[in-house]
Amino acid sequence: MRFGIISDIHGNLLALESVLEALDAEGIDRLICLGDVVGYGPDPIECLDLVFDRDAVMVIGNHEEAMLRPEIAKSFRDVAREAIEWTSRRMRALRPDLIERIEQLPGMIYLESDLMLVHDSPVPGGRRYLVNEAAAGPAFRGVDTSICLVGHTHLPGCFRHRGDDEEGMVESRSGSPRASVELETGARYILNPGSVGQPRDGDPRAAYAILDLDDHEISWRRAGYDIPAAQARTLASGLPARAAP
């Protein structure tokens, strides 16, 4: 089974189209989306339609939740809050059916018996950013499969846990472009594909990953797209300038 893994698209349609085109060329069996399809960017409706049309296995992100529960939006920093309020107004006016679909999205999904998907962390209670070993170590408490896929940090990442020791055994590998990691049997992994629409690792190209369960391998990829055009779309839509990729 070969999964295409995407996360944190954030309404960036040009980035998403580029990634889907690359995944089509690579050939995958199923698309996994780890949430935050909306927020920041000008095309949340088009992005959700594309993800749903592809029959992606999807968990809810905190930006989707913020559309359903305004008290979450209030806790966001300014640019994220303004953007999600814009998104929510637009979607409720134009496509209330998408709000209903978002309401149905689960927070956690188990797949293929040994794979779990969640937006931020497998340990419930408060959104967490698994940015380094110190943060990922305790999160392994919640990983009861070999592989846990997360997004949320907008940073490609790989954390490996061997043995029973909670923190000392966690190692990280960065997902540099075209990097891949062979997944060892007996170890557990927290894997992050990075962000399609708003990467925060210094490489502005759209990030995604391919997980091959037969070859026991994950590969991180980048897809280029017209970033100035995406920035112009953000500004033209009346979103805050800082919401642009």
Work out how close the CB of 102 gets to Zn ion at its nearest, in angstroms, rounded to a whole number. Answer: 15
Residue 126 tokens, joined? 């408060």
User: Looking at beta carbons only, is 8 or 82 nearer to Zn ion?
Assistant: 8
Work out how close the CB of 113 gets to Zn ion at its nearest, in angstroms, rounded to a whole number. Answer: 28
Distance between CA 173 and CA 165 in Å, rounded?
19
Work out how close the CB of 243 gets to Zn ion at its nearest, in angstroms, rounded to a whole number. Answer: 12
User: Looking at beta carbons only, is 36 or 65 nearer to Zn ion?
Assistant: 36
CB atoms under 10 Å from CB of 71, counted, come to 7
User: Looking at beta carbons only, is 33 or 213 nearer to Zn ion?
Assistant: 33
Work out how close the CB of 26 gets to Zn ion at its nearest, in angstroms, rounded to a whole number. Answer: 24
Distance between CA 7 and CA 15 in Å, rounded?
12
Q: Is the dihedral of CA 229, 235, 239, 241 positive or negative?
A: positive
User: Looking at beta carbons only, is 36 or 201 nearer to Zn ion?
Assistant: 36
Residue 122: name the closest of 110, 134, 105 by CA.
110
Distance between CA 102 and CA 105 in Å, rounded?
5
DSSP H or E stretch at residue 101: helix 96-103
Looking at the DSSP assignment, which residues form a beta bridge with residue 161? 188
Work out how close the CB of 29 gets to Zn ion at its nearest, in angstroms, rounded to a whole number. Answer: 25
User: Looking at beta carbons only, is 18 or 192 nearer to Zn ion?
Assistant: 192
Measured distance between the N- and C-terminal CA atoms of the chain, rounded to whole angstroms? 32
Residues of the shown chain interacting with Zn ion in the complex, contacts defined by CB under 5 A: 8, 36
User: Looking at beta carbons only, is 91 or 183 nearer to Zn ion?
Assistant: 91
* Cβ-Cβ contacts under 8 Å for 41 (sequence gap 6 or more): 9, 10, 11, 12, 13, 47, 83, 197, 198, 230, 233, 234, 239, 243, 245
Work out how close the CB of 10 gets to Zn ion at its nearest, in angstroms, rounded to a whole number. Answer: 6
Residue 183: name the closest of 160, 167, 149, 150 by CA.
160
Work out how close the CB of 213 gets to Zn ion at its nearest, in angstroms, rounded to a whole number. Answer: 25
User: Looking at beta carbons only, is 8 or 64 nearer to Zn ion?
Assistant: 8
